[in-house]
Amino acid sequence: MAAGPALAYIPTLNAQQIQNAYAEGQQLAQNRDSGYPLRAYTLYAVKDTLKLEAQNGAVDAVTIATPSERTRFESFLSFLGEDPITPQQAFQRAGLPPYNVAFIVFAHGMDAGDQTFLNRFSMARLKLGGQSLRPVETSKSGTSISQYPRTVGETGIRFGGTVTYRFELPKRLIGDTGTLNFTDASGKAYDLPVNLALYR
């Protein structure tokens, strides 16, 4: 179903939009204690991201990445890292070509020694406007130790990492709603609502 005039997703950024995203990232980074805000771009998150619960499978959260948001993020990182870059460089580092979106899955291993969990994620499907899209790229991060201190009955230590699914959107579908589907390392299936009108 098309979102019409309310469409917020910007498939390709002009110079002013790149500048705006860059400036927002610089501003956000000035408050070093607050971290990078992802709540508005979060499709899914477990109730308590500091607590392991078997029914939650291997996924802690799923966020959506747009050209505007990733440009903002790269600007944010450059400010924190004292690595000055221009707005255009931030846009280039964002790595999202026109009409692309990505979904970043934050995940953890199934036990304290599991470092191969990212390899057990399925291919994703993005269903928009009755069409099923395959990712043009699936990338996996390295893994590092994560702590879940509110876990009951164990130490709550896992290896954590991300799987990123990047999709190229047909122009006629950028205002549509749909779902993101994939299966995690535990075998749990996800069917997450996606509404591109909610994300700039």
* Alpha helix (H) residue ranges in the chain: 15-29, 67-80, 87-94
Give the model's pLDDT for residue 192. Answer: 98
Half-sphere exposure of 28 (CA within 13 A, CB side): 20
How many Å apart are CA 195 and CA 128, to the nearest integer?
9
Q: 114 falls in which pLDDT band (50, 70, 90)?
A: very high
Identify whether the C-beta of residue 90 lies closer than 8 Å to the C-beta of residue 21.
yes
Q: How far is CA 14 from CA 87, 100, 134, 141, in A?
A: 11, 15, 27, 30
Q: Determine the average pLDDT of the residues in 137-142.
A: 98
Query: Would you tell me how many other CB atoms lie within 10 Å of the CB of residue 12?
Result: 11
Whether the Cβ atoms of residue 151 and residue 56 lie closer than 8 Å to each other: no
Predicted TM-score of the model (pTM): 0.92
